[in-house]
């Protein structure tokens, strides 16, 4: 699949370095790794603002949709319209729905159908995929 923003691995590494991304951000965003639960900086972060893709800056979530799912990863009940694409993930002997940034294809996490009303969704994201902004 192609995305509006495409870069080489070296360019993505340089971009993540310029964004002061967490050490594992390249493996998470470009190789679909998962950070350990309760290890990410946004798991217990509750400020007002918005969450963006660490790779390209695209706005993904508003803080109003964030909730504590007690799973150890930042969780949101709703993404911004058109911000995320969903892909079938059959890794680790299970079938899940992977979420990626619609602009650059960065792996963000997974979406599950066990979230709060009204959406019933839980976007379970890696903190290493996100950048927070108050503006």
Active site residue ranges: 124
**C-alpha–C-alpha distance, residues 47 and 84, integer Å:** 22
Partners of 134 in beta bridges: none
Beta bridge partners of 96: 89
The neighbour count for residue 46, using CB atoms within 10 Å, is: 9
What is the C-alpha to C-alpha distance for residues 127 and 42, in angstroms, rounded to an integer?
5
E strand segments, the chain: 50-53, 59-62, 66-67, 75-76, 84-89, 96-101, 107-112, 122-125, 130-133
* Angstrom distance (rounded) from CA 106 to CA 95: 19
């Amino acid at each position: 699949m192609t995305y509006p923003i495409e870069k080489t691995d070296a360019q993505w590494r340089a971009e993540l370095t310029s964004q002061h991304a967490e050490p594992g951000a390249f493996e998470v965003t470009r190789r679909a790794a998962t950070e350990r639960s309760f290890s990410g900086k946004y798991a217990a972060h509750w400020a007002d603002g918005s969450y963006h893709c660490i790779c390209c800056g695209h706005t993904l979530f508003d803080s109003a949709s964030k909730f504590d799912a007690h799973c150890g990863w930042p969780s949101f009940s709703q993404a911004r319209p058109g911000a995320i694409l969903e892909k079938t993930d059959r890794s680790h002997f299970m079938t899940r729905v992977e979420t990626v940034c619609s602009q650059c294809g960065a792996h963000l996490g997974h979406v599950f159908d066990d979230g709060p009303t009204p959406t019933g969704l839980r976007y379970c994201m890696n903190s290493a995929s996100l950048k927070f902004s108050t503006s």
